[in-house]
A and B are shown apart, each in its own frame.
Chain A
Amino acid sequence: MAWAKKILRVNLTDGSIASEPLNMEWAQAYLGQRGLATRYLVEEVDPKCDPLGADNKVIMATGPLTGTMASTGGRYSVITKSPLTGTVACSNSGGFIGAEMKMAGWDMIIFEGKAASPVYLHVENDNAKLLPADQLWGKSVWETDELIHKIHQDPQIRIACIGRAAEAGCLYSAVINDLHRAAGRSGVGAVLASKNLKAVAVRGTLGVGNIKDPKRFMQSTGEQKQVLAENAVTGQGLPAFGTQVLMNVINEIGAMPTRNMREVKFEGAHKISAEAMAEPRKSDSKPNLTTNAGCFACTIACGRISTIDKGHFSVENKPQYWGNSGGLEYEAAWALGSDTGIDDLDALTYANFLCNEDGFDPISFGATVAAAMEMFEQGVITTEDTGGIEFKFGSAEALCKAAEITAAGEGFGKDLGMGSKRMCEKYGRPELSMTVKGQEFPAYDPRGIQGMGLTYATSNRGACHLRSYTVASEVLGIPEKTDPLATEGKPGLVKAFQDATAAFDSSGLCIFTSFAWTLDNVAPQLDASCEGDWTAERLVEVGERIWNLERDFNNKAGFTAKDDTLPKRFFTEPANTGPAEGKVSGVEQMLPEYYDLRGWTPDGEVTTQTRDRLDLPS
Chain B
Amino acid sequence: MSKNLYFCLTIVFAFAFLSSCKKSDDETTETPKPLFYVPDGFPAPSGQLQNNPVTTAGFTLGRKLFYDPVLSKDSTVHCGTCHQQFGAFAQVDHKVSHGINNLLGTRNSPTLINLAWHSEFFWDGGSNHIEVQPIGPITNPVEMDETLNGVIAKLNRSTFYPAMFRSAYGSDTITSQGILRALSQFMSCLISANSKYDQVRNGQTTFTATEDSGYTIFKSKCASCHKEPLLTDLSYRNNGLDAHFTDPGRARITTLAADSGKFKVPTLRNIVLSYPYMHDGRLSSISKVIDHYRSTIVQSSTIDPLLSSGNMSISDAEKAQLIAFLNTLTDQTFITDKRFSEQ
Chains A and B bind each other: no
